[in-house]
Amino acid sequence: MTSAKIEIRLATPDDIPVLNRLIPESVRSLRHGYYTEAEAESAIRYVFGVDSELVSDGTYFVATEGGQPVACGGWSWRRTLYGGDQRPMGVGNLLDPAVEAARIRAFFVAGTHARRGIGAMLLEACAEAATAKGFTRLELMSTLPGVPFYARLGFSEIESVVDTLPDGTDVGFVRMARAVRLGGERP
């Protein structure tokens, strides 16, 4: 799938080091007005990072421009709701698509590429893949800067969550959900 110069493809293990550099840059550049510097740095250390299980499952996407990764995001049929390899939150047991929502996971866009529709392209790729696996709903744990983005794409707030990280820093998140397809979207 392409749009202008942006290409969306599945992530490979070779992408993980680059993505683990992109993610902190994204957080640091987009945190302003939502997280303090201390909250952002603690979340980078304990929460924000690649979950290599998503890469292994073939459910993590990379957006590239000129061959360089500029964003990433994925989905999962596993119960884990958020967190990277350093601290996944929830067990990785499989979800039942008949009664449970697929998880949208680890969306990050380089600050230089924010607000250009790349996140929406990634979400569309995830929704298509989740639909193919029989899921009818999506659920995620949004960062505070991500809430307006997900709300524009039809997600509704389920609850606000405060995660106390291992260093004692409290970081806010918002659990959100929506139907895989909104009214009028193509199947």
- On whether residue 184 sits in a domain, the answer given is no
pLDDT band for position 2 (cuts 50, 70, 90): very low
Number of domains in the chain: 1
- On whether residue 168 sits in a domain, the answer given is yes
Q: What is the CATH number of the domain that holds 23?
A: 3.40.630.30
Q: Mean pLDDT of all residues in the chain? A: 93
H-run or E-run covering 164: strand 156-164
User: Do 48 and 24 contact (CB within 8 A), yes or no?
Assistant: yes
- Give the rounded percent of residues in the chain with a pLDDT score beyond 90: 88
Burial of 143 per CB tally in 10 Å (0-12, 13-18, 19+) = buried
- On whether residue 186 sits in a domain, the answer given is no
pLDDT tens sequence across 74-100: 999 999 999 888 876 766 689 999 999
**Amino acid in position 116:** R
- On whether residue 156 sits in a domain, the answer given is yes
pLDDT band for position 3 (cuts 50, 70, 90): very low
Longest dimension (CA), the chain: 45
